[in-house]
Structure 1
């Protein structure tokens, strides 16, 4: 290998502190995501793919491209997909769905009979959470004639939203779904070598997917929300951003509405006018 190729390879494999600082500041400003020095190796590994795809030989060249007007237009979404974490499961943190079904929904329906329930899955990843919500709400609706609901599901990653819209999952992904709900809401694929399922059309029609960056000024919500699931999302933001974001959510919440947070998230110490009503479940009382 000649020296030029060797240098190019080494350039590709090493992200300088200067370029890392530039990228981490950009990621924080644009996406609100903390990228401390401990994540330098992770960022390096994830960006390697893009360097290969674009045939760019070094991270510094990649930065020049990303921060150009062309890069801002064409590369921003790709880079966002690489740096965002997308871990999710059907019926993740199941006690939340029990509380929703047994406490929140009966109370809401008694108070708002005939009104459509508006639900937001904020940070929906590849769709497991909003489709779980659709199953739970459909089950409630069967026992409560006239109950109507709509789910908005948003994520910053275009790649996971594509998967969510398709609503096709490997069979092992749906193991947490109770058997009765599998029979009712999942269609089994015919390929025995690659067992997959798809969410039934009636359930897919209840969920509307949209790309949304929490750092954008306006969420574009037309109606006030009755339930927000924003679980294991704000842990990637610093406390100042968490507080700003949750107050922004508050503005879009109807009186008496609920927000469900992740098991490792808390509003303790944040200046947000929400009241804890259950572990990691908060309510807008006024």
Structure 2
């Protein structure tokens, strides 16, 4: 998942020069505060014009006269659904199959031999794709597992989560137009997909390995078992330092001993959390030692 890029904070100027209502500084601050409270997003004042462009569609759909009225609605008692629509509008879901290929090299070469032995010994395998966007990442993981001889007939499962219910619905369908199939070789596409109207359909045996659900990383996580690997790439860089500091121990706590955490190319575990992880290469970490249970989130972060 890719979110609005961040730049240093400052005073938001009115976003003007476009058709429709102007986004005044006070409304921008309200929208930025809601996005941070609901999803941990940091939206820089320099992105006011982008916010205006993306939310103008919501104003038109709701027949609202301006951004102040929109903020009143979103913050009102009946604004829950629109808060979700607002977060969806402010996030850009960009991904492709086998993105950041070095992580999949580690998966194939260092994890899968161990995981295959684990399954043969009667164990379970669990992998989490956090911020899975339209599903290319979890299906890439599933293809790697399938090519290593693991399947849904064994106790092997991949969980894909995202805050946006729209992209989760797309991921569940498992159908991709040609322009979303980048990253796949012709051979891999032939093995794991079939032609379908408007594009390509993920194969049933691959789909059987993956389940999807909507999840806000700032909320309580219902998953109780440990994961052998967590992919959370190009997500945490868009959170502020306080939000990141709360996430690192939670990820560590949900990893099996020596489980792996994969981050995006611009992301690093913060120094304060490095006691929980051992670096194993570029944006690749293993859980280190015993991890105390992190504090439960007190609702969404303010």
Contact 1:141–1:148 (8 Å) recurs in 2? no
Select the structure that is richer in helix: 1
Which residue does 1:138 correspond to in 2? 146
Aligned positions, number:
270
Structure 2: state its 5+ residue gaps.
Answer: 1-17, 290-302
User: What is the aligned counterpart of 1:208 among 211, 216, 220?
Assistant: 211
1:72-103 superposed Cα distances (whole Å, 9 cap, x missing partner)? x3312211111122111111011111111011
Residues 44 and 13 from structure 1, CA distance in 2 versus in 1: closer, same or farther, beyond 3 angstroms? same
Q: Output the TM-score relative to the length of structure 2.
A: 0.84
User: What is the aligned counterpart of 1:279 among 275, 279, 282?
Assistant: 282
Contact 2:194–2:200 (8 Å) recurs in 1? yes
**CA distance in structure 1 between the partners assigned to 2:29 and 2:67 by the alignment:** 12
Q: Give, in angstroms, the shift of residue 148 of structure 1.
A: 4.4
Contact 1:161–1:209 (8 Å) recurs in 2? yes
Contact 1:12–1:57 (8 Å) recurs in 2? no
Which residue does 1:240 correspond to in 2? 242
Which residue does 1:257 correspond to in 2? 259
Runs ≥4 residues deviating over 2 A: 10-13, 107-114, 268-272
Task: Give runs of aligned pairs for residues 128-167 of structure 1, distance below 5 A.
Answer: 128-141=136-149, 148-167=155-174
Which residue does 1:32 correspond to in 2? 40
> Equivalent residue of 2:230, what SS?
strand
Task: Give runs of aligned pairs for residues 1-286 of structure 1, distance below 5 A.
Answer: 12-71=20-79, 73-110=80-117, 113-141=121-149, 148-189=155-196, 191=197, 194=198, 196-216=199-219, 218-272=220-274, 273-286=276-289
**CA distance in structure 2 between the partners assigned to 1:243 and 1:98 by the alignment:** 28
Contact 1:12–1:59 (8 Å) recurs in 2? no
Q: Give, in angstroms, the shift of residue 264 of structure 1.
A: 1.1
RMSD of aligned residue pairs (Cα, Å): 2.0
> Equivalent residue of 2:149, what SS?
helix
Q: Give, in angstroms, the shift of residue 108 of structure 1.
A: 3.7
**CA distance in structure 1 between the partners assigned to 2:19 and 2:98 by the alignment:** 43
**CA distance in structure 2 between the partners assigned to 1:162 and 1:149 by the alignment:** 22
Contact 1:187–1:199 (8 Å) recurs in 2? yes
Q: Give, in angstroms, the shift of residue 111 of structure 1.
A: 5.4
